[in-house]
Each structure stands twice: as C-alpha cells, then as structure tokens.
Amino acid sequence: MVVAEPAETEFSGKKDEFLSRDVNKQRLIQMISDELRERDCIVINALGDADVDIVKNVVEASGLHTTTLIGEDTDLLVLLLYYAQGDTMALYFKSDRTKPDGSFKVYDINRLKDILEHYLCSQLLFIHAMTGCDTTPRIFGVCKNCAFQKLVKGNPVLQSCANAFTIPTRPHRLSRTLCAK
C-alpha cells in the first residue's frame, strides 16, 4: 500500500505494513519535518546514521542558548563530549528513559568535559569505537568500562593507541607501531 493522501487524512491499517514501504516512510518523515518547520523548529534530515549531524547541530545551537539533547544512545553522549567546545552556553544530554522513581539521567556536558579534560574526551571517542558502538561490535572482547578505567588510570599503551587515532597530525605508520605493543 502506498499513501498519497494529504496530511489531514487519517490512516487506518497496520503500522508495520505501512512503514515497510520506503516511499511511505519518506512521505511521513517529510510531513513531520514540514510540521516542525512551521512551528519554527530546526529540522535536519540525514541520509545515513544521523548521530554526528545531530551532535554537530546541537553543539552549534549551544553557542547561542541553553541546549538539551534527549536520547538514550551512548554514541550521542560520547560525540557530545568530543565535539562540544568550552565556549558554549549550558549543554545537556538527557536520557529519554525513566528511572524506577520516574526521574531521568541528565548530564551536564560542559561540567563533564571539565572533569574529563580535553585529551580524555578525544581518547574516549577511540575507546567507544574500539569497544563497540551502534554499528561496530567490540574488538578483542574488551568491555567499555574496563577500557575506560585503563584510560583514566593512564595506561600508556592504550593512551598511545587512542592518540594515534585521534590526533590528526600523527603519521599512519606510527599508529601501527604504537598499537602493536
């Protein structure tokens, strides 16, 4: 079934059947985007994985006013810590899942960056990618918490590997040498 009705038409049918067609998904996204734009919302439609686009736009908005990104994806939190600059207004990451008591986790990104420091936020991106994220399974069976604890405690091999991949001026052959230890 393909829907070509105006936005005011009420749909009656099975959601899964409707959304199984790409053309229906695209029209639905377009209708929602148009409605949000009419309400003065900033809408960005990404072609692929939208995490980086979302975070970059949230960081840009935080330069003008207090901004909160709502989601549950750890990738978003890690990317916020990586991309956020120190000269922003208040920037928060709020979990969209409630705790048993009905409250939400809220992270103050600027405060976290102060605590973790710039170098650790850069290395965190490497650790997150190597230990698994949305599209990448963890490598070598190392869990996130173990790798993060080693990084915080100053493990020189892990820090060297992280720096080799996160410092743009490092030559590629050096990356292989450092991580081979």
CB neighbour list of residue 35: distance below 8 Å, 6 or more residues apart: 7
CB neighbour list of residue 132: distance below 8 Å, 6 or more residues apart: 138, 139, 144
Residue 77 and residue 74: Cα distance in Å, rounded?
5
Q: Where are the alpha helices (DSSP H) in 2-85?
A: 15-19, 22-38, 51-62, 74-83
Q: Largest alpha-carbon pair distance within the chain?
A: 63
Give strand pairing partners of 48.
none
Length of the chain: 181
Using a cut of 0.75, tell me whether the model's pTM lies above it: no
Each residue's pLDDT expressed in tens, for the chain with a length of 181 residues: 444 455 566 777 788 888 888 888 888 888 988 998 999 887 877 777 788 888 998 999 999 999 999 887 788 998 999 899 877 889 999 988 888 888 888 999 999 998 888 778 888 888 877 777 655 555 666 677 777 788 888 888 888 888 887 766 655 444 444 444 4
